[in-house]
Structure 1
């Protein structure tokens, strides 16, 4: 199988597939990014909860006065 495109070099050497090491590295990067995204989401979710609690307290104070 010859990759599409006009590269004469790819025709000479054939298609290039990622090595196991490269595949593992990609998996590690994806796992790391997933963890980072999850941490960011949790942090933002906690912050939203804090803001809502603060606003609730303010509303209660306003209603009491």
Structure 2
């Protein structure tokens, strides 16, 4: 710190770390709603993967916006 005193505290920004943290949190919660519930698509996918009724009902389409 004594060597770089001329730069001040502004030179030691944490914005890059905060941005990376924000990206990781956003990626983790991307498929959840505001209440923390799993989206209907994922619920249906889990149901059809565990049950043999997959032939009776068409699979839902996933839309990426």
Q: TM-score, normalised by structure 1?
A: 0.44
- Structure with bigger helix share is 1
Q: TM-score, normalised by structure 2?
A: 0.44
